[in-house]
Amino acid sequence: MTESTQKTSKKTALTNAEKQKRYREKQKERGKQEMRGYLSPEAKECYQLISEQTKWNDSIILSNAVRLTYAAYKNGQIGLLNSWLNKHDL
């Protein structure tokens, strides 16, 4: 093999930024949306307990939290849910 064909046959390694970009693009293609935010100390404690008990990753926890909140809203229970959280300092 000549030197020029050896260079073209080798794949170049992707940078971390390129890998992250590819991952985000694949997730978007699957219909998923990235959400970001900051957790209060109370929410962080709840997150840790849920994670330990269920072995869910942060993506599943966030997805289920949004779905449960929506279910409470659709069933007219959002006020009840909010008052329970406040009453229990969560």
Q: What is the CB neighbour count within 10 angstroms for residue 77?
A: 12
Is residue 24 situated within a structural domain? no
Tens digit of each residue's pLDDT (9 = 90 or more) over 29-43: 999 888 788 889 999
Tens digit of each residue's pLDDT (9 = 90 or more) over 69-89: 999 999 999 999 999 999 998
Q: Say which amino acid occupies 22.
A: R
Is residue 83 situated within a structural domain? yes
Is residue 27 situated within a structural domain? no
pTM: 0.66
Q: What is the mean pLDDT of the chain?
A: 87
Is residue 14 situated within a structural domain? no
CA 28 to mean position of chain CA atoms: 13
